[in-house]
């Protein structure tokens, strides 16, 4: 085959064309790179994690690309179930005017987890948070009553019936305390006590054996769900009978809006109103064991060769500004943050109920607002300064 030869003018023309073409290619790359660093990351990184994750069926991962600040790199946010695996992130490398993609192995546990919004509470869905009050409380339900005179100082949506979460344990504890059962009797946590409702964690592993007194202490102070369930399960007559007694006691106390289906509060079917809960707090406060266990700042239990330290779920019991006689906290997403207390403020014995508080610390802040408000009123405040809101 004859060789194609170029004449000297043709060679010059060809060289000039190649030079011009090189300049044309280099200029857009040089000028476009700074402006499109972020935009260039997405298409490069999108394919790499998917192929890497598919190659490891033992770990199911969903991944998305999140823009990163360093030039030429991307981060992959992934949710991984199963063993921690190494996912592939993409890295862009500039080589001779070309952009090439290489894979970088990243431990799955080091990747950022996606943010999942909390579910709305029953109170939020019912619009109870739209009701305002003069103290700007974050709880959609509030009730403050003088324990001695039964004067209502503050009422907000007090008849709304809502899930009460671990406030349920007040009734559980009251029944156990009043039953006069042997408090030194040993109770063992079984698989039946494991939470299959919310899949909550517990430091009391299956097989842990503690006395009834220790179980009750942990249930009331630290809101230990397995301990509370074990107390109901081992009650004479069994768990179903115990729940019947919980409802019977509620009716006996005049708690007409209250219903229990289990002894922990993990079920959203455990429901009550602020007024009903004030009745329960008043009765529970008369029990010395209930007062002691609910206000204990901390407690240690021996589990096998280990000693476990448990703390109160209400930090106000450690505060010098509070004189708390009885308290209980509660939380599940359907109920929001809940708090009930008996406390002495400005010389008055008060019962406070806060339900469906929106933020993690807002129920504590609401209690502080009420304390400052009552202190400003003084111990001889008349009923004329009380504020009532019907929701």
Catalytic machinery residues = 166, 169, 223
Q: What is the DSSP code (8-state) at residue 192? A: G
State both tokens at 31: 């000028």
State both tokens at 192: 């039946």
| Bridge partners (DSSP) listed for residue 271 | 163, 259
Q: What is the DSSP code (8-state) at residue 344? A: E
Q: What is the DSSP code (8-state) at residue 173? A: H
Residue-level length of the chain: 391
Helices 168-178, 274-284: inter-axial angle, 10-degree rounding: 30
Q: What is the DSSP code (8-state) at residue 296? A: -
Q: How far is CA 229 from CA 125, 132, 171, 235, 270, in A?
A: 29, 37, 12, 10, 14
Answer yes or no: are the C-beta atoms of 339 and 314 closer than 8 Å: yes
Report, in this order, helix, strand and coil percent for the chain, each rounded to 5.
40, 25, 35
Answer yes or no: are the C-beta atoms of 355 and 139 closer than 8 Å: yes
């Amino acid at each position: 085959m004859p060789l194609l030869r170029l004449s000297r003018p043709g060679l010059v023309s060809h060289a000039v064309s190649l030079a011009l073409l090189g300049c044309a290619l280099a200029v857009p790359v040089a000028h476009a790179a700074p402006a499109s660093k972020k935009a260039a990351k997405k298409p490069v990184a999108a394919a790499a994690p998917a192929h890497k994750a598919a190659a490891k069926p033992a770990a199911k991962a969903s991944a998305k690309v999140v823009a990163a600040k360093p030039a030429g790199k991307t981060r992959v946010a992934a949710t991984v179930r199963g063993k921690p695996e190494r996912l592939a992130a993409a890295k862009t490398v500039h080589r001779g005017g070309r952009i090439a993609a290489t894979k970088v192995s990243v431990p799955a546990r080091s990747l950022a987890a996606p943010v999942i919004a909390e579910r709305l509470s029953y109170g939020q869905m019912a619009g109870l948070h739209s009701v305002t009050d003069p103290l700007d409380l974050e709880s959609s339900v509030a009730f403050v009553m003088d324990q001695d005179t039964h004067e209502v100082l503050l009422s907000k949506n007090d008849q709304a019936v809502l899930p009460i979460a671990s406030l349920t344990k007040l009734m559980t504890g009251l029944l156990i305390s009043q039953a006069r059962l042997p408090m030194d009797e040993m109770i063992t946590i079984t698989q039946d006590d494991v939470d299959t409702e919310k899949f909550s964690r517990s430091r009391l592993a299956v097989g842990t054996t503690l006395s009834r007194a220790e179980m009750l202490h942990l249930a009331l102070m630290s809101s230990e769900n397995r301990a509370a369930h074990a107390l109901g399960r081992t009650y004479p007559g069994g768990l179903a009978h115990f729940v019947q007694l919980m409802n019977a006691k509620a009716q006996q106390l005049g708690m007409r809006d209250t219903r229990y289906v289990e002894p922990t509060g993990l079920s959203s079917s455990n429901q009550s109103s602020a007024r009903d809960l004030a009745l329960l707090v008043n009765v529970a406060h008369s029990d010395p064991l209930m007062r002691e266990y609910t206000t204990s700042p901390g407690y240690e239990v021996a589990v096998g060769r280990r000693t476990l330290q448990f703390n109160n779920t209400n930090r106000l019991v450690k505060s010098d500004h509070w004189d708390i006689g009885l308290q209980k906290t509660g939380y599940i997403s359907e109920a929001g943050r809940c708090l009930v207390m008996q406390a002495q403020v400005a010389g008055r014995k008060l019962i406070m109920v806060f339900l469906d508080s929106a933020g993690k610390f807002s129920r504590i802040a609401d209690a502080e607002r009420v304390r400052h408000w009552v202190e400003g009123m003084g111990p001889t405040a008349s009923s004329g300064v009380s504020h009532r809101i019907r929701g």
